Amino acid sequence: MRSSTRVTLTLPLAACLAAPSLTRAQTAERYRGAADRIIAAATKDSAAWNRIAELTDTFGSRPAGSESLERAIDWTLSRMRADGLENVHGEAAMVPHWVRGAESAELITPRRKPLTMLGLGGSVGTPAAGITAPVVVVSSFDDLRAHGATVKGKIVLFDVPFTEYGQTVLYRVNGASAAAKLGASAMLLRSVASFSINSPHTGSMRYDSTVAKIPAAAIAVEDAMLLHRMQSRGQAITVHLQMSAHTLPDVRSRNVVGELRGSERPDEVVVMGGHIDSWDVGQGAMDDAGGVVAAWEALRVIKALGLHPRRTIRVVGWTNEEFGAHGGRAYRATHAADVEKHVFALESDNGVFRPYGIAVVGTDSAMAMLRRIAPLLQRIGADSVTRGEGEADIDPLLEAGVPGAGLHVDGTRYFWFHHTNGDTPDKLDPREVAQCVATMAVYAYVLADMPETLPRTPVAGATH
């Protein structure tokens, strides 16, 4: 799940010069039959769910730098070959190697109680003896600033209720350095979660290079609220925090690639996928084995139906989205010479829940063309085409002008499980997963086969 926001570009004239495209009726006439067969094949059984379960049960969590990630990549490559996909291979990407190590937090005063915590990805550890310090609970960056130098030497707890991920996650990403600027000794964060059963959420954080690096951890929503209530009652709060988190040298990982080669224009590519890595908790089933498997199964279904689109459809399981999106950037670098040949990029990274359709980054003209394809998905209710903000792994392509989209799904419960030990296959419904497969497959097939391509997105700073 991306946390950055997209810069909106003004639209230069060149974008309006796209070739005339199929009407809605022509699209339906030409592709209704194939789309119906794809949907029927994708939704006839629980194959996709079973594959998510097998992948995530077998390898568990798959953090960047881990052996389990590399073994999951090997397994995926091997199974893609067994499925008969073409040009199956790994593409090298260097990824960071952060290790959580042993960690714990305990409330010392006003009463002793273990706090349910997860260190944040990228955090430094504490000294070996840990940090024992008074806690100051704040509700926002403004509230922190209002405390000023009084937080010096203390542990700052951001107790910020979940509103919208892109907003609330700023405390996870930037909270430690904001607290360190005022001399805090450590940063605790109310987990970025829309619901909790004492279920802490990890995720990445960043240090501002101009201030001291202090340890940073999320605690369960319940514990954050408890400490806040204690502070409101005037009680002095002390916490002991112990973290052995550390960062090892970068390691070599791989993006997983498998294709169905185009019958007429194999050098033109529709790329779709998700990220094969996960956080180091739970099984990374919805974040994001589901995305990788949905794209992979989509291609398997297209191939099994004997469909031969004009262009190549490429499935990618990007490595290390979670900790800096190195996989997506490596993919763009590896394909620098042929990025112009990428006609569409599609990613699923919001959980393979009931799909509504796609959330698009592209020109108005591209949106209009996609809206002519969308009705093919009406029978499973996945025909929505809205404006989106991109997805972390395909952002480097979108920034290069490739039109693209994220799969748009029912996100009601995503942030209940995201980056927790509860991200397991049981949270996913086989029927909904199959509908995600169908949605990705129909878009990939039609966009790979239709006569014209979507107009490219104007790129800031490009010459025309």
Question: What is the contact surface with its own copies in residues (CB under 8 A)?
Answer: 53-54, 57-60, 110-111, 113, 116, 195-199, 220-222, 225-226, 229-230, 233, 282-283, 416-417, 420-422, 424-426
- DSSP secondary structure letter of residue 375: G
Given 91, 103, 297, 321, which residue is catalytic? 321
DSSP string, 408-453: EE--TTHHHHTTSTT-SGGGS-HHHHHHHHHHHHHHHHHHHHSSS-
Q: Whats the size of the chain, residue-wise? A: 464
Residue 196 Cβ vs its own copies, minimum distance, rounded to whole Å: 7
**Span between the terminal Cα atoms of the chain, in Å:** 33
CA-wise closest residue to 158 among 191, 109, 112: 191
Q: Among all chains, which residue has been given the structure tokens 């419904």?
A: 429
CB of 101 closer than 8 Å to CB of 303: no
Helices (DSSP H) in 110-220: which residue ranges? 141-147, 165-181
Phi-psi label, residue 282: left if phi above 0, alpha if psi -120 to 50, beta otherwise: left
Q: Which is nearer to its own copies, 282 or 291 (CB)?
A: 282
CB of 363 closer than 8 Å to CB of 458: yes
Residue 106 Cβ vs its own copies, minimum distance, rounded to whole Å: 13
**What is the residue type of 413?**
R
Q: Which two tokens stand for residue 98?
A: 């952060």
Residue 305 Cβ vs its own copies, minimum distance, rounded to whole Å: 28
Residue 57 Cβ vs its own copies, minimum distance, rounded to whole Å: 6
Q: Which is nearer to its own copies, 54 or 74 (CB)?
A: 54
Q: Which is nearer to its own copies, 144 or 220 (CB)?
A: 220
Q: Which two tokens stand for residue 60?
A: 């568990």
**What is the residue type of 248?**
L
Count Cα neighbours of 97 within 13 Å in the Cβ-side half-sphere.
14
Q: Which is nearer to its own copies, 39 or 221 (CB)?
A: 221
Q: Which is nearer to its own copies, 31 or 49 (CB)?
A: 49
Residue 221 Cβ vs its own copies, minimum distance, rounded to whole Å: 7
d(CA 439, CA 289): 17
Residue 75 Cβ vs its own copies, minimum distance, rounded to whole Å: 13
Alpha carbon 60 to its chain centroid, in Å, reads 17
CB of 444 closer than 8 Å to CB of 348: no
Q: Which is nearer to its own copies, 222 or 389 (CB)?
A: 222
Residue 116 Cβ vs its own copies, minimum distance, rounded to whole Å: 7
Q: Which is nearer to its own copies, 36 or 57 (CB)?
A: 57
d(CA 211, CA 213): 6
321 catalytic per annotation: yes
CB of 128 closer than 8 Å to CB of 246: no
- Residues recognised as catalytic: 321
